[in-house]
Structure 1
Amino acid sequence: MCGRFCLDTPAAELISQLRPWLDHDDADWLNHYAARSLIRPQEPVLILRQEHGRARIAHVLWGLMPGWVKDPTQGPRPFNARAETLSEKASFRGPWRHHRCLIPCSSYLEKDHRIQRLDQQLFWLGGIWDRWIGSDGSEVETCCVITTEANPLVQPVHNRMPVIIPNGLEEAWLEPGDAMHRQALEPLLEPGDSQGWTRTLIARQAGSASSQQLALEGIAPFNP
């Protein structure tokens, strides 16, 4: 599973990664961007999604609320969706077909371990999103992270890991497409390669629950 992740990348690096999809309308949030060392379910997250034929940046809540629910205060708000059941479960089926998204991430956390790229560069978590519209016209946009079986790097701490979408495949992932297109995306739902990644033990400092500060306790990177 993936229930905590980080986006603590400096603004300049984030802008460089997102530049192909930035618009002049994005200037406001970019000016107020703040690195986040801990992002949890029900909090706002940054996503890249496609609407009206073009990929754009958006902020949504982490925890999927299907657009068809009648009462948004009732029912679960899953923050993960299993890759194996995306096309089966009612909550995930529509978003998987039409509303895939990408979530920029610098690392994710699993049972006191931080998993990140060895070069510490940003990467994409594969996700789905949806929009709920109330009878009064109010809108709530939400997302969740797709998970798959863990690779050898993650297996010692958990049997699931987030789906990682390689750089260069952003447009292919976001394109709604048809059944054949979704079938072509299925290899991306497999566990990612352990090479080029590291798992590091986290030591929590006193008061970290409130401050959300994490300190890294050095251990040798895992080599599969």
Structure 2
Amino acid sequence: MCGRYALTLPHDAMAQVFSAAPANDLPIGPRWNICPTTQVPVVRGGNGGRALVSMRWGFLPTWYDTPTAGPLLINARAETIARKPAFRDACRSRRCLIPATGFYEWTKTAEGTRLPWYFHDPSGAPLVFAGIWQDWGPDRFATCAIVSCAAGPTMAEVHHREPVTLAPSDWALWLGEGEGKAAPLMRAAPPDRIVRYRVARAVNSSRAEGPELIDPLVDDGDK
């Protein structure tokens, strides 16, 4: 699962990494505590090539009358994405890349205290989540969700789900630019792609921001 993440790459760097034309309305960054329902940078394909655009994180099916007419769909399960009415069309034809510097997940103490962990690529390269998108409403407001799968070894000790992360060699296939089926890409990351460490509980607040949120926790007295 993924319910919070960080993105510190500048827009021009993302445009270069993904060979994508940047839109003019990209959300201001960097961000160290991105929460659902906010606008996030997303890479999508098309006949004119790749574009780096802004989308609301929180997928809105076409039959929602309002953004709050149903559950908040920030993740789409890989195991059922091709069958769920909300996601199946997007899974076939509206796939996207959602870049991140890293993401957060939580464990709990016996007393119920939530302890945050930060997951990232050990090389410092961005993580790229497999995503799907959907235009919603008369203004065709773009929305997206992150595809999740059963957790791999790195993630399983913290949470039973993880976001599907894509290697650069898989980006074109996920976007529908290459030959082959994208379904095999919806799997847990190899052990060398993601590492984790504890961070301070300040990130537990959705209002918290700043680079200190991803600093490794040195003093465990913060528990």
How high is the TM-score relative to the length of structure 1? 0.82
Where in structure 2 are the equivalents of 1:162-181 lying within 5 Å? 162-175=163-176, 181=180
Moved more, 150-159 or 61-70: 61-70
- Which segments of structure 1 move beyond 2 Å, counting only runs of 4 or more? 9-16, 51-54, 67-73, 204-213
2:83 to 69, 88, 99: 88
1:97 is paired with a residue whose SS is helix
Distance 1:208 1:87 in 2: 34
Distance 2:71 2:203 in 1: 32
Structure 1 alignment gaps of length 5 or more: 220-224
Distance 1:107 1:50 in 2: 23
| Counterpart check, 1:195 vs 2:192 | yes
Where in structure 2 are the equivalents of 1:50-69 lying within 5 Å? 50-52=45-47, 54-69=49-64
Q: How many residues align?
A: 207
1:198 shift after superposition? 1.2
Name 2:110's counterpart in structure 1: none
* Bigger proportion of residues as helix: 1
Where in structure 2 are the equivalents of 1:19-38 lying within 5 Å? 20-22=19-21, 26=23, 28-29=24-25, 33-38=28-33
1:70 shift after superposition? 4.0
Name 1:103's counterpart in structure 2: 98
Cα RMSD, aligned residues only = 2.6
Name 1:147's counterpart in structure 2: 148
Structure 2 alignment gaps of length 5 or more: 107-115
Task: Give the letter aligned to residue 151 of structure 2.
Answer: A
Where in structure 2 are the equivalents of 1:93-132 lying within 5 Å? 93-111=88-106, 112-132=116-136
Task: Give the letter aligned to residue 131 of structure 1.
Answer: D
Task: Give the letter aligned to residue 99 of structure 2.
Answer: P
1:123–1:167 Cα contact (<8 Å) kept:
no
1:64 is paired with a residue whose SS is coil
Distance 2:166 2:203 in 1: 35
1:211 is paired with a residue whose SS is coil
CA pair 98-176 structure 1, distance change in 2 beyond 3 A: farther
Distance 1:39 1:120 in 2: 19
Task: Give the letter aligned to residue 136 of structure 2.
Answer: W
Distance 2:10 2:52 in 1: 17
2:154 is paired with a residue whose SS is coil
Distance 2:77 2:193 in 1: 24
Task: Give the letter aligned to residue 159 of structure 2.
Answer: H
1:141 shift after superposition? 1.1
Per-residue CA deviations over 1:119-171 (Å, capped at 9, x if unaligned) read 1111210010000132xxx2221000000011110001100000011113222
1:216 shift after superposition? 2.2
Distance 2:2 2:72 in 1: 14
How high is the TM-score relative to the length of structure 2? 0.83
CA pair 206-63 structure 1, distance change in 2 beyond 3 A: closer
Where in structure 2 are the equivalents of 1:34-45 lying within 5 Å? 34-45=29-40
Moved more, 204-213 or 193-202: 204-213
Per-residue CA deviations over 1:28-83 (Å, capped at 9, x if unaligned) read 457x8421001111010110112335221110100110124344441123100000
CA pair 210-123 structure 1, distance change in 2 beyond 3 A: closer
Using the aligned pairs only, state the percent identity. 29
